[in-house]
Amino acid sequence: MGVTARGVGLGVAAAALLAAGFRFAYPELALLGAAGATAGGYALAVAAWRPRLSVVRRAEPDRVGRGEPATMTVTVHNSGRLRSANLVAEDRCGGLPVPVPVLRLRPGKDTTARYDVPTTRRGVVPVGPLRVTRRDPLGLVSLSRPYGETVPVWVHPRVHPLNVMPTGAGRSLDGRVDSVPHGSITFDSLREYVVGDELRRVHWRTSARVGELMVRENVDTSLPRLVVLLDNRAVAHPRRSAGLAESFESACEAAASVLTAAYRADLPVVLVLVAPEEEADATSAGGTGGEQEVGAAGAAVAGPLDRLAAAELGADTLDATLTRLRGDRLGDTLIALTGPGGRATLGRFGALRGAYPSVVVGVFGAAEPAQSPTTGLVVIDAVDGAAFAAEWDRVRRW
């Protein structure tokens, strides 16, 4: 509850008038002071009245890509039976106030407000709660109360379609990758015998049952595995505008595109951040750190990664992460995504070719094209995520 400047002045004046009236025996002054005190008590009683309101909010949709439209619908219902709600209300959307019309809301009636949710920045945009302010007619006391819950709106990176996925040095377990050789030790299916098949692969029991020769079809036992390394160091993304590093946003879009394409191709993929979560400085809500396996919720792994490591974390942090990747050998294809400040580290990424047969580096926001310092290292220069997807599909050698 807050007392306005007018209320403070009235209270001081009422106390002074009452004191002077009783001290110097002036009933007129005492009467004025009592009237001021009565007005203050009435204001407190009016502001303390709690209206019975129910708030329902709905986000359409509640998960969007960066820059895509999202709308929030707020419905306020007056559950009271006797009095109309004459209030001032505003909703909170990402820290910004949004007015909601609740003036003269009659009992049993409701009002609806609809507004756009800002999606220009990735992260979790909290919407709510509704702040209802109750004031007395004289403007002496103001009381604000929250109504309803906070509803999050998830703003994910934009996902750009990728038509080609690297197969790496491994092979697909069930033949989903085109370059999979047949004839290994893992059973896949049965097919009819053709001239040239080895007799030791004939499945005699099935052949006797169907009346013709049936041959076992086998595939290789290994599976291509992708590792996406996202450089979230502040030194790798030095250019910022209004606290937002566009090169980091583009790198997140590229990571989301690769992860989504790998999930749709049913290929295992691991997401690794250069700076772990405990060393990250949150620039907004949300964040993912460390190492993350992408499983059945593959479409959601493009969630908000709004953490940039502190500025003092530089080459030592990168070297520690690369050493761990070299020792763990999490896959056979490494896809490193960095910003203009990471051009000087291309040689470090190329040194991982001993542990990862295929290494692809995406550099975003660089003023000049980056040159590959190592033979066999694929470097993709891109302005944003869309340009990265276009250059990615043009790569013919992984």
Task: State pLDDT tens for residues 24-46.
Answer: 888 888 999 899 999 988 888 88
Q: What is the pLDDT of residue 48?
A: 79
Amino acid residing at 310: A
Domain ranges of the chain: 2-48, 53-156, 182-219, 226-394
pLDDT band at 366 (very low <50, low <70, confident <90, very high): confident
Q: What is the pLDDT of residue 225?
A: 82
Q: What is the pLDDT of residue 117?
A: 92
pLDDT band at 317 (very low <50, low <70, confident <90, very high): confident
pLDDT band at 286 (very low <50, low <70, confident <90, very high): very low
- Is the confidence at residue 105, as pLDDT, over 60? yes
Q: What is the pLDDT of residue 181?
A: 45
Of the ranges 22-31, 83-92, 178-187, the best mean pLDDT one: 22-31
- Is the confidence at residue 314, as pLDDT, over 80? no
* CATH class name, domain 53-156: mainly beta
pLDDT band at 13 (very low <50, low <70, confident <90, very high): very high
**Segment among 73-77, 96-100, 210-214, 293-297 with least mean pLDDT:** 293-297
pLDDT band at 336 (very low <50, low <70, confident <90, very high): very high
Q: What is the pLDDT of residue 372?
A: 59
Amino acid residing at 49: W
Q: Give the sign of the dihedral formed by CA 159, CA 333, CA 372, CA 308.
A: positive
CB distance 28 to 21 below 8 Å: yes
Average pLDDT over residues 264-284: 68
CB distance 392 to 365 below 8 Å: no
Q: Which fold would CATH assign to domain 226-394?
A: Rossmann fold (3.40.50)
**Segment among 39-53, 134-148, 182-196 with least mean pLDDT:** 182-196
**What's the pLDDT tens digit per position in 89-101?**
888 888 788 888 7
Q: What is the pLDDT of residue 79?
A: 83
Q: Which phi-psi region, left, alpha or beta, contains residue 11 (left: φ > 0; alpha: ψ -120 to 50)?
A: alpha
- Which one has a higher pLDDT value, 279 or 150? 150
- Nearest partner of 155 among 126, 114, 197, judged by Cα: 126
Contacts of residue 352, Cβ cutoff 8 Å, sequence gap at least 6: 322, 325, 326, 334, 359
- Is the confidence at residue 305, as pLDDT, over 70? no
pLDDT band at 172 (very low <50, low <70, confident <90, very high): very low
Whole-angstrom Cα distance, residue 284 to residue 120?
A: 13
Q: Give the sign of the dihedral formed by CA 347, CA 350, CA 355, CA 361.
A: positive
